[in-house]
Amino acid sequence: MPIVMFWRFELNSLLKFIAKKALKTFGWNLKIILPEENKFVLIGAPHTSNWDFPLALLAFWSVDIKIHWIGKNQLFRGPLYYFLTALGGIPVNRKSSHGVIEQIKDRFNHAEQMVLAIAPEGTRSKVEYWKSGFYYIALAAKVPICFGYIDYSTRTLGFHRLIQPSGDIEKDMELISEFYQNIAGKYPHKQGPLRIRSKF
């Protein structure tokens, strides 16, 4: 085993151990049902607190998942490009005629393995609608959607269930809403209705 691969394996093993230990110490449970698919969109909800992100990171590290996320290409300048891409960042040009959905679709098509994480609420504040970009990205890339969640009422983090978007967003959203309806964020009063606009 080349030395670089060895150290990467050791680092991943260490992160996995630390993440599991930290979650156990703070009383969090993991319920992870990993998809068999190598490529999927992972949505995370509800998002009501600054604690959601570090908890999500611990969940990712505990199962050694390489997560990708979308950022404006202006952020990926100079040395930051290498740092942010190493953290899974994908720069997108929102002004390009080749729209964001097409840009991410191309990344999926050229990748052997890719998990794209998106928080559909887009903010910790209460929103009336989820952003629908996650759905149309999955639909265009022909990849399934995995449900990630942080349930503060049971102190459980997990990944569960996949749906393959059918193209009927209203029908598919009923399944997504049914899954998340009893999951409580840290501040439940910040959770908005589980509905989505029909256009991205």
pLDDT, tens digit, for every residue of 43-57?
999 999 989 988 988
All structural domains of the chain with their residue ranges:
3-190
Would you say the C-alpha torsion 23, 25, 31, 34 has a positive or negative sign?
positive
> Rg (Cα) of the chain, in Å, rounded?
17
DSSP E strand stretches across the chain: 29-32, 39-45, 67-72, 89-92, 114-118, 145-151, 156-163
The tokens describing 37, both together, are 């698919």
Label the pairing between strands 145-151 and 156-163: antiparallel
> Model's pTM, two decimal places?
0.84
- Regions of the chain short of the pLDDT cut 50: 1, 3-8, 200
pLDDT tens, 13-67?
888 889 999 999 999 999 988 788 899 999 999 999 989 988 988 898 888 778 8
